[in-house]
Structure 1
Amino acid sequence: MALPAPQGRRSSTFTRMLRHGFTDPQASGKLLDAPALSSVRSDSVLLEALGGTADPDQALVGLVRLAEVQSEEDRQRLLSTLVTAKPLRDRLLGVLGASEALADHLVRHPKDWESLATYESVDLHPTTPEFEQALAEGIWGERGARLSREDALRAAYRRALLGIAARDVCGTTDVAQTAAELADLATATLRAALEIASEEQPGDAAVSRLAVIGMGKCGGHELNYVSDVDVIFVAEPKDGVEESDALQAATRLAARMMRVCSDVTPEGTIWPVDANLRPEGRNGPLVRTLSSHLAYYQRWAKTWEFQALLKARTVAGDPTLGQEYVDAVTPLVWQAAERENFIVDVRQMRRRVVANIPAAQVDRELKLGPGGLRDVEFAVQLLQLVHGRSDATLRSATTLDALKALAAGGYVGRQDATALDAAYRFLRTLEHRIQLYKLRRTHLMPEDEQDLRRLARSLGMRTEPVDTLRKEWKWHAREVRRIHEKLFYRPLLDAVAVLEPGEIRLSAKAAGQRLEALGYEDPVGALRHLEALASGVSRKAAIQRTLLPVLLGWFADSADPDAGLLGFRKVSDALGKTPWYLRLLRDEGAAAENLARVLSAGRLAPDLLLRAPEAVALLGAPDGLKPRARAALEQEVLAAVGRADGAEQAVAAARGVRRRELFRTAAADLIGAYGTEASPAEEDHGQAVDAVGSALSDLNAATVAGALRAAVREQWGDTLPTRFTVIGMGRFGGHELNYGSDADVLFVHEPREGADEQEAAKAAFAVANEMRRLLQLPSSDPPLMIDADLRPEGKTGPLVRSLASYAAYYRRWSLTWEAQALLRAEPVAGDEEVGRRFIELVDPLRYPREGLGEDAVRDIRRLKARMESERLPRGADPTMHTKLGRGGLSDVEWTVQLLQMRHGHAEPALRTTRTRAALAAARDAGLIGAEDAKTLDEAWVLATRVRNAVMLVRGRPGDTFPGDARELAAVGRYLGYEEGHVGEMLDDYRRITRRARSVVEELFYGG
């Protein structure tokens, strides 16, 4: 036993250990005094070498453990070689300091350290044949004699892995070479595993030709230390063997091969073999013939499957059959970008990257997180698929090689390619070192300070290693994200504008191919817009070149990229000389993204914006998209009317306010819809629908108030001989307007005291007519149609009545449907007192004290049935018409209104003009079951959203889904469906409204 060191010497040793990076010099000092290290404890070379490892404390623990399990003779040989041979010292201690798992392996196999003692030239970069030879010796040679075949393979695999890790941590190989060696070792391992399976099942091996196709990182020669190894199996019968028999035999061989690699034994496990990239995934047969593979790919495969095949290579089994498979599928890979659904699939793949990140891990994800490895890989592969059709130099299965080829061909800028290469190498190195520690599959940055310190030191960071690591990681992640966002688009600018002297530029054909692949239907037109926006040396063009790469990406994510780019050019042309415009887009990130979303989502919002481009400012203001209150809107409109010269100019000013606010509402609606992840069947969108309905109703009320003020002022100044009010009806009174709704109203007046009743009536009639004329004047602004057909006697009745006339009519002549229409009556403009008295007048009609008699109920049901049969447009699909169709707006509203008229007198909460509020009140009063209420509410909200979407997308109202495929896709995007899921959207609509109709049949028609 070693004597305690003198205090002075111990203090000196501790100081040296701290200087060399030990974090627990007291515990490590005791380890240095361990008997197993007695012959080398005072050797300064050893201490210095430990200090060069990722974790000196861990390296020393591993060395002591390794020395203790050696025989006395082997221990002295180990320690002697360790002190005298720098290659072994660096390799062994480097591995012990970086990998606790490989230290465990060395302790379990004490002689395996000897594999690190040599430094032959062939050992620098071994390939598959060298690994095959090493594994064969470990399995069938002397080393494997005492183990089962599987355990012998595991031990031999870890021994080979030991050499790869040693070269990696010592810097003998870079990250790309390490990944290639790991892939070659995996290839050799698969071959050994298949040989073991064939040895155990010689009958199966005799009847089938089985080829193993490497996919993913294994196929691309860029494997991780710990990763699933993706494969596809293809088989053919040997001569004279039935195909079914051969496939069954090949399946048994393949399954056994997979278990050899993935089973857990006392020697641990190697890695799972994953065959889920095969046709039909887990649901498909494990092994297929070549013809079966081809039939699937030619008929059923999705774009991501061809993207996966980009990395396919033969790794084990019958090499001839494997090459036949690769030769057969390769042409299909390079035709993938010409497929009809390529754009849809690409967008879905991009979204899937983000969707696969657990929220709690997004900030630690090296692979899937923003600026992670997947961003680089996806970008490179997509560019390969687009341009590799005509450029064979791009057809590499290895990410970094493909990136180099893309740069050489001018498809990626040289500086971007260099930055992306550096970031990818850094991130892959991080991933490798994190996995190496425990040999566990993970892509998460550690949180523990000691783990981060070890990781940073493994990368050569010695001064403030943890802070340095975090800064460098975040910097590379930002670079990847920045370049990823512009990678597809910056070269397009190079194609139309000379940006950097000597920069290789895309040809017009290549630029067009890229635009087509990203969803632009008119690539020639798109390039023309880019040239107009980005060419030149002006400051404006320079800012556009900064903005466009990101904007083009947002346009490409929409249902109509061409419309988005065209709209942006028009807005930029209109505001190009305005100093704040481009500065706003450049400096306020939300403004640029919001503008891109609005311009590419449909026709209504861009049309509004192009009539008043200065409204772009709303997109960047903190509360710019927040709807304004009715009082504030009315105050602004009345002030504008007061400043105008004449009634027509006054209403034009009011319309200008309405146009701006209509844009605000539409923009907020569109941008909010883009943030929705769930489909309408999964999430209640009622709050958004209510917000839009209220905003539009408030806006129209303010506009009507302005038209009323203008009409009165033009002829009477402030001395109109009657008090005049406007009552909102239908959706207007219910705060449920759609973008394309008319404004249903009643005009009511009450002669002033002492005024002549006939003169008052004439004045009221003249005001109502003038209001309608002014609001219907030809204009580029969206029209606001005033509809007074719900008045007593309809179109044949007087346009305006006095309160007394309304009272007399309703007392003597009112029909049930007129009382029903009054359920949504609410004053919207004009004299408040007259409006209040009108509501007092009609309340007994719409909420009758005695409820509804059976005759009245029959009248309502009969009228509803007649409306369904007569008013539905000829040829319209009754299951898809949002207003009059099965389970649509009319079904829900009439059901709710029947409940209001029956029970409104007894239940005050039912006395509301709003459909959803009345439905909730009926539920709370027990008049309708909670589940039925939810069903009706869901159908009403969905039908309303569809109507809003149609108007936003087409720029004109409609009650059915559009027939045009691009417009239908845009409606789907608004409703929260990914592109390509239009069928799902239509099925959901039919299902939801069908359930609503069942409730209506029960509640409205009485079963």
Structure 2
Amino acid sequence: MSFIKNLEPEFAALPDKLRATVIASLTKWDERVTELKLNVTQTPAFSTAIVKVWCSSLFVAESCIRKPELLADLANSGDLSAIYNDNSYAEKLACKPVETQAELMTKLRDFRCREMVRIAWRDLAGWAELSETLADLSWLADACIQYALDFLYQEACELRGTPLLSDGSAQQIVVLGMGKLGAYELNYSSDIDLIFAYAEDGVLQDRKETTYGEFFTRLCRNLVKVLDEITVDGFVFRTDIRLRPYGDSGPIIMTFDGMENYYQTQAREWERYAMIKVRQVAGDFKTGAQLMAMFRPFVYRRYLDYGAFEELRSLKAQITQELRRKDRMENIKLGPGGIREIEFIGQAFQLIRGGNDKALQIRPILDVLQLLGERELLAPKDADQLNQSYRFLRRVENHIQQYQDQQTHDLPTDPAVQRILAYSLDYSDWTDFKQDLDKVRAQVHEVFDQVFSLSKQDSANQHSQKIWACVADDSELMEHLKEWGIQDTGAILAAIKDFKHSAAVRRLTAKGAGVLDRLMPQLIEAMQQVANPDETLLRILGLFEAVAGRNVYLSLLSENPGALAQLIRLSSASPWICGYLSQYPVLFDELLDTRTLYEPLKKADLDEQLKVLLAQIEVQDLEQLMVILRQFKQLNVLRVAAADIMGAIPLMVVSDYLTYIAESIVGHVVERAWLMLIDKHGLPPVPSQFPTGLRHTHHPWRYTDNAAIGFAVIGFGKLGGIELGYGSDLDLVFLYDCLDGNAMTDGGKPISCAQFYGRLGLKVRHILDTKMLSGVLYEVDMRLRPNGDSGLLVSHINAYEDYLKNQAWTWELQALVRGRFIAGDAQLKEQYEAIRSRILSLPRDTESLKKEVREMREKMREALSTKDKDKFDLKQSKGGIADIEFIVQFGVLDQAALNVALTTYTDNVRLLEGLQQQGFMYKADAETLKNAYCTYRNFGHKQVLQGDKAVIDEAEVAEMSAEVERIWHEYME
């Protein structure tokens, strides 16, 4: 009794109503220890902990009284105070060989009891963090499953023979752990959900010619029996195999092919959610990797899947309805604000975005929540709150289950058990604990409500059915349309009917039709928020019809009122937005975040973002590269357009941003194309201009940032002038430099340098202008290269200078005024800029030059200008953009011999400033041309965003165009 007497201070700390029971129970254990003459190592920490553990867990107390040696062994071995790793349980089991299945069952149950006492003790005593407890429970299950499987498999092979793979090696099954086991989050008294599979079918060479399916089915039945059957020693783990394909009616085990066929063709939506946490826990891990890879595309769709919100919302509603029916709302797992709501929040974002963002393809919910907070998909404070709430709720769950080792998630109703639970969680009484628990659950449910829009959804559903049903009743819907500001109610009603009965809408699945039923009333009612409701609604109806086949985008808008509001706002201002989203619906997701939608990225940020995206792609994965590049461009052009439409950025900056996007893309295309070619053909010798002392074939500077690759991309026209518009193509010229065009590359498939750079140019062009389902990256025009379409695609830098000096037409020299290095080798940039400066600053006869420039402009005007009366073509009409550009180009070609500084810039605004400073042009004339040029470009951008050509009423710019025409006559005629 001396041991009990030493615990007086600990007993005094117990609640009064619990003290007598604990003392009596511990006295019984102490007597058994004395009776068996057991030695128990009693540290101060042990003595402090034993009272709390004994009080908190009837399971631990009864297990230790029944087998006093159990606790003695844990304490004396040091296991009670030790932190295990992922191999600890397997190593301990390996030291327990067994001979028969009966012995296996006994050994596993004894082992499980010992380790569950240890895990409960460390948790209840406060010696283990939640993460340790959950990991220990999962590792224990893994080890028991593998140990049992190894014995049963060996026994079965000895009896019937060994199933083989096609390569002749022994074939073992794959055991998959679902749910919390799969995520290393197993709770204390959890069952384990398992699915079994095997790689290849076949027949054993035994007397009965047993098929592999029969062999493995018996093996799996035995495994479930060993783990799940309740004997005098208890059980190992309650084992549930109902999550397998076809559930209870399906085979216990299937081949990989059978699995793949099921999940591709027949699996239900909830099975996707179940598969988020799937993990192989035992069996053949080599073949298992193939099976795990097969699940990924089933779970994580390639597109953004906002339908997951509705699916999870529906599943949660079913759970809640069942709990209400059974009067079990105080269930901390499934009830309001419980563990499942936190998991659903994380899983919703994983299912929606996991296909695009591989970082979200993870199992543990705490890791998911942290990532959602970092990505600001959840408000960081909400993510942190959910993280803390999850830890709290899981600790409560474990303590509920550790009391009697029962699989329950309901709060106790017995006042005595309530006191024990509160005490185990360090609360003075049940009331204090319940207040904190209710607060946590309320916070969780509030975030769940926000994410899944529950309260909004309920009211929207009632309203939607009423309004959308009105399409059949002309008079009632006409009244609604008038309320919402529609002007031409007859025309809009007809358009709505046409939309509802269109082929695209009729083809919708029941699920898609349900989404549309919720969305349309929200859309129509929101028309009262815009100044042009008729036009806006017609534009969006056209967009919805275009994307109806992918109802995930309609789900996005239905689930996110903010995104719908952004779409309406932008569509009201510009029909271009609807056309752009129709063409590239993957961009719908961008409507969710106004912080990024109206903030286009600067050049450095674009480069960094694209670098991260492309780092995930294999060097030779050309198709994926082109898809990622197209999505990157489309997304960033949308940001520029949205900011432009809403007036968040000025005209000059619009062109800057569009140019930055093109420059970033071209730079990365060159880099990737280079890596593809050197991967196949090896490196060419270093360029002629590179320092001789550094010409080492495999020097690392040649692999990054396009350094010393001997290749350059030159941009002309709007790209060169930093004046790109929304639909601009790219005028490009490719240059290269090498010592010897016949020198060979140093790879496994060597080719000459001339061939290498020719193929590099072809690859770059192919990546940029190949038409794919995701569109064209950029239309590429290369007619400005030497000899135009009949010339080489890639020109040697020396030949390029010779051509410009001796063969180029005047119009080609005019184009050179706006020629600018875009991407490639920095050494070539210097060479090109020196050549451009030399060519542009050659002395020229002013009158001859003026005549040639003027004649070229007149030919262009005759061929390209609009013939419509009272219409003004912003670029080609008299007094338009082309007149200004030709004046500037003439000025530079005429004056650069006198002032080489005129060759510094390529954009028309700064060139006009330079010509004025040079004395070529009066300041007033330069200001007039700058103002006209910017005004015309502003008109042009607006015309594009309104879905129109760059042609306006002549009267709108009559005075301005007359001034430009006057200046043209003064300087050019």
Shorter-normalised TM range: 0.3 to 0.5
Taking structure 2 as the reference length, what is the TM-score of the superposition? 0.45
Taking structure 1 as the reference length, what is the TM-score of the superposition? 0.43
